[in-house]
Amino acid sequence: MQDFYIYILHCNDDSYYVGHTDNIETRISAHEQRHYPNCYTATRLPVKVVFVQPTSSRGEALEAERQIKGWSRRKKEALINGDFKLLRALAKKTNF
């Protein structure tokens, strides 16, 4: 069974990049080496891996990526910090 991953990178401009992959080491290296020059991170190097979570399928990883990309910075940071109490509280609010 192939593992897939959802990941968050902290960019040098203090923004976050959310992605998914089936090979975390290769994908992070691709970001760091500017393998994809039009990628969001290409002009925001260096990047730091701040969150990685395995998922059971590419579909699950893609769904999580799309969901997290829509989150506020505060929600992303709660996830990164493992603060699930704050994450739940923020999920209940309509204005982040």
Find the CATH number of the domain harbouring 28: 3.40.1440.10
Q: How far apart are alpha carbons 94 and 21 in whole angstroms?
A: 30
Structural domain harbouring 48? 4-70
The token pair at 33 is 């080496």
Q: How many domains is the chain built from?
A: 1
Per-residue pLDDT of the chain (96 residues; tens, 9 = 90+): 568 999 999 999 999 999 999 999 999 999 999 998 999 999 999 999 999 999 999 999 999 999 999 999 999 999 999 999 999 998 887 554
Hey, is 25 helix, strand or coil?
helix
Q: How far is CA 47 from the centre of its chain?
A: 12
pTM of the model: 0.90
Q: Is residue 31 part of a domain?
A: yes
Q: Is residue 94 part of a domain?
A: no
Contact between 84 and 25 under an 8 Å Cβ cutoff? The reply is: no
pLDDT of residue 1: 54
pLDDT of residue 53: 95
Q: How far apart are alpha carbons 30 and 53 in whole angstroms?
A: 18
pLDDT of residue 96: 46
